[in-house]
Amino acid sequence: MKTYRFAIAAAAAAVLHLAAAQDITRLGKDLTPSGAEAGANKEGSIPRWNGHESAETGWTYGKSRGDAWKYKGEKPLFSIDATNVDKHAQKLTPGQIAAIRQIKGYRMDVYPSHRGCGIPDFVAENTRKNVGVAKLGADGWSLKEAVVPGYPFPFPANGAEVMWNAKMRYRGLGVDYPKLIFALSPRRGSTEWYRSIVEQTVFYPWGAKGSNFLSKLPQVESYAYFAFVAPAAQAGQAISVSVFLDQPGNEVFYYFPGQRRVRRMPSYAYDAPQIGTENQYTMDEAWLFNGSMDRFDWKIVGKKEIYIPYNSFGMYDFTANIEEVAREDSINPANRRYELHRIWVVEASLKQGVRHNAPKRSFYFDEDSWNLVMAEDHDAQGRLVKYREGYLIPVYETGTCDVSALVQYNLGEGRYLFDGHPIGGGKDIRWVVESDGPRFKSGFYTAENLRAISSR
C-alpha cells in the first residue's frame, strides 16, 4: 500500500499545477477536448488518443454492440491471476489485488489498449465554456453552475470536481433498461442465488443536445424509476428517486402494491441498504457511486497507469445466458476485458459528525471519459471490505463512452452482485438522445404519477 501511495503522490503536484493553469487553448491540442493527456505514454503501451470509436457500418439498436466494434477479434496480451499478481501489482489497485488473491479462479485478461472515448462537438464546446464558469457551491460539494451538457471541470482542482465530471458525463437524455436482472450470489454454504427482474429508466434533465446554463434548469442531477417484475414477493413494487445538484440526500417515493399506496422514504439514501438485496447493496453504491456527496471530503490523490475494465462488450451481451456469465464466485473472465489506461485517483474521507458504514473510500476514473470505473470501500478499522468495477464501452448513440454494468465483491462475506447490465434479459440497454415519451420528462417522477401508473 505504501508503494502504491508513493507512486501516485508523485503525480499530485503536477496535477494540481495543471488545474491551476486552466489554459483553455490546450483543449483539443496536447489535451483532448475532455482534458485528458492526448499523447501516448513513454512506453507506447497507452496509445495516443484518436477520438470516438464509431460502430462498424450497419449497426442499429438491437444488434450486438460488440460485433460492431472494429477490434472485436483481438486476443489477450496476457492474463493476471494468483500466480503472477505480484509481478503486475504496480499497475493494479488494492481492490483488484484483493479480488485476485481472495476469489477462487479470479483472472484478468489484459488486451491492447485503445483510446476511442470522445465527445460530440457540442459537448466539447460546452466543456470549453465551463473553464472559469463552472463552480461548486460554498459547501464544497454541490454543483452551482455549469454549461451543459459538458464536463464542468476539465482542469479539476479537487476530488469533488473530478466526481462532478463523472456525474455530468454526457449520456444523452437518459438510459432505458427494458429488462434488467439483478443477481446476488449465494451466502456461504448455500447454492441459492437471489435474482430480481426490473424495468428501469434513468433521466438526466440537463442532457438535451445544445447549450444551457445549469442554473436555468431544474436543480436535479438525475431521476430514476424502477418497477419490479420478479420475484413474486416484490412484483408490483415501484420506486422513483430524485438526486439533486445541491441538496443532501435523495427524494424517494416507493409504491407498495399490498397497501396500494405511495410512501415517501426520507432516509433511503447514503448507506441505507437497497430493498431486496440482503444488506449487500447500499443506495450510494449504485453506478459505483450514487447520490449526494455531502458526507465526505474529496481529495485528488493523483494519476496512475492501471489495468482497468475497458471495451468490455461481453458485459453487455443481451443474448448471453446469465448463468454462464455470473458464475459461483465471480463474473466469467471471458466476459471481462482489461486495458492499460491513465486514471485519476480520488479518496473520500468521512466528515466529522456524520456516519457512514464506509468512512474511507477510493475511486478511480478513466482519464479520457471521466467515467468512474472502480471503487473501494474501507470500514472503520481501515479494512478493505468491498471492491466495485464498472465496465466501459463506447456508446454508438451518444458518441461517448459510458459505464452501466457493474459488479461489486463483498470481500469480507465472500459474495458478489451484478447490476446495470442487459445479460439474460434478451433486450439491449437503450441510450436515448432525443425526447422519447413520458419517462424523459420530470413530471413522470412525482408521487402522484408513481401511484397512478402503479395502480393500473
Q: What is the pLDDT of residues 277-308, one digit of tens each?
A: 999 999 999 999 999 999 999 999 999 999 99
| Residue 330, amino acid | S
For residue range 388-427, what is the model confidence (pLDDT) as tens digits?
999 999 999 999 999 999 999 999 999 999 999 999 999 9
Report whether pLDDT(48) > 50: yes
Which pLDDT score is estimated for 214? 98
User: Confidence class of residue 20 from pLDDT cuts 50, 70 and 90?
Assistant: very low
Mean pLDDT in residue range 160-178: 98
Stated as kind and residue range, the H or E segment containing 80 is strand 78-80
| pLDDT at position 456 | 64
Give phi and psi for 163, each to the nearest 5: -60, -40
Dihedral sign from CA coordinates of 97, 291, 402, 58:
positive
Res. 4 pLDDT band, cuts 50 70 90: low
Binned at pLDDT 50, 70 and 90, residue 17 comes out as: very low
Find the mean pLDDT for residues 427-448: 95
What's the confidence (pLDDT) of residue 436? 76
> For 330-373, how does the pLDDT look when each residue is reduced to its tens digit (9 = 90+)?
999 999 999 999 999 999 999 999 999 999 999 999 999 999 99
pLDDT for res 274: 96
Q: What is the pLDDT of residue 58?
A: 87
- Is omega for the bond preceding 359 within 30 degrees of 0, making it cis? no
- Looking at residue 21, what is its pLDDT? 54
At 18 the pLDDT is 47
Task: Return the pLDDT at 8.
Answer: 53
Name the DSSP letter for residue 146: -
Contact 303, 163 (CB under 8 A): no
Please indicate whether residue 326 or residue 19 has the higher confidence score (pLDDT).
326
pLDDT on residue 6 = 44
- Does the pLDDT at position 245 exceed 70? yes
> Which value, to the nearest 10 degrees, does the dihedral of the CA atoms of residues 144, 159, 266, 222 take?
60
**For 176-227, how does the pLDDT look when each residue is reduced to its tens digit (9 = 90+)?**
999 999 999 999 989 999 999 999 999 999 999 999 999 999 999 999 999 9
Domain CATH number, residue 112? 2.50.20.10
Would you place residue 444 in the very low, low, confident or very high pLDDT band (cuts 50, 70, 90)? very high
How buried is residue 435: exposed, middle or buried, by Cβ count under 10 Å (0-12/13-18/19+)? exposed
Residue in the block written with cell 489495468: 307
Q: Under 8 Å CB-to-CB from 352, ≥6 apart: which residues?
A: none
The total domain count for the chain is: 1
Residue range(s) defining the domain that contains residue 92: 2-454
Residue 22 per-residue DSSP state? -
pLDDT digits (tens, 9 = 90+) for 102-133: 999 999 999 999 999 999 999 999 999 999 99
Angle at the Cα of 268 (from 281 to 402), degrees rounded to 5? 55
Whether the predicted pLDDT of 13 surpasses 70:
no
Of 456 and 185, the one with more pLDDT: 185
pLDDT score, position 153:
98
- The pLDDT, as a whole number, for residue 180 is 97
